[in-house]
């Protein structure tokens, strides 16, 4: 299971402002769905594959994730979170529902996942999807970031903020935020790559 590159991809994707894409999805523009899939398809597939561990099933559940997002786009509130974390939460929940149904252990709790398809609940993703070893590697890499770099990664990953929102919250120019995000992602890539290669 290789989710760390997926995590980095998700953070890179959060660099782009999703407001235009979300509005297009809410207007039911088919190109917006294609663009969403192009931007988030790989990371959604990685999350699903990490849970179900079967490529064919993961492909089906990835398609279901985007179909569900398409059908629920009108209810998506960009103020509460970013598009990427919302899609990943849907993907994770679809995968868990599938595993529960296949194992014959489907109970009333599996039906509660629809209520959990909210970006703010994505903060538990690290503990629930990334295995303990990868979480350790990620924490180690995060610890090597300086305070500014760590802060922008945490704001993107845990709170789903766009770079514009980070600039506003941190009272910094947008260009500075972009520089911090790029530098932080490069450091994370280098540190994680070294650790996984060891």
- State both tokens at 41: 């398809």
pLDDT digits (tens, 9 = 90+) for 27-66: 888 888 888 888 888 989 988 998 888 899 999 999 999 9
Confidence of residue 5 (pLDDT cuts 50, 70, 90): very low
CA–CA–CA angle 153, 156, 159 (5° rounding): 120
Phi/psi at 20 (nearest 5 deg)? Answer: -65, -45
Residue of higher predicted confidence among 130 and 89: 89
* Class of residue 171 by CB neighbours under 10 A (exposed 0-12, middle 13-18, buried 19+): exposed
Rg (CA), the chain: 17
The enclosing domain of 67 has a CATH number of: 1.10.1740.10
CA-nearest of 61, 62, 78 to 26 is 78
Q: Range of 27's domain? A: 4-197
* pTM, full prediction: 0.47
CA distance 161 to 169: 10
| Token reading at 76 | 């998506």
Buried-state track 67-93, b at ≥16 Cβ within 10 A, e below 16: ebbbeebeebebeebbbbbbbbbbbbb
How do residues 133-144 score in pLDDT, each as one tens digit?
666 777 888 889
Query: Rounded distance, CA 77 to CA 83, Å?
Result: 9
Q: How many domains does the chain have?
A: 1
Distance between CA atoms of residues 150 and 142, nearest Å = 6
């Amino acid at each position: 299971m290789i989710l760390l590159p997926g995590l980095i991809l998700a953070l890179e994707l959060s660099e782009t402002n999703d407001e235009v894409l979300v509005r297009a999805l809410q207007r039911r523009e088919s190109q917006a769905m294609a663009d969403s899939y192009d931007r988030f398809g790989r990371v959604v597939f990685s999350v699903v594959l990490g849970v179900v561990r079967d490529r064919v099933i993961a492909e089906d559940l990835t398609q279901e994730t985007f179909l569900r997002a398409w059908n629920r786009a009108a209810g998506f509130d960009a103020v509460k979170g970013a598009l990427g974390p919302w899609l990943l939460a849907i993907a994770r929940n679809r995968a868990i529902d599938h595993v529960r149904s296949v194992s014959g252990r489907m109970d009333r709790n599996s039906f509660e996942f629809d209520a959990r398809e909210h970006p703010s609940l994505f903060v538990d993703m690290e503990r629930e999807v990334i295995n303990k070893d990868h979480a350790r590697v990620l924490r180690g890499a995060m610890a090597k970031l300086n305070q500014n770099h760590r802060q922008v990664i945490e704001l993107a990953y845990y709170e789903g903020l766009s770079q514009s929102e980070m600039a506003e919250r941190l009272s910094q120019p947008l260009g500075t935020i972009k520089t911090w995000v790029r530098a932080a992602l490069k450091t994370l890539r280098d540190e994680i790559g070294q650790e996984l290669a060891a």
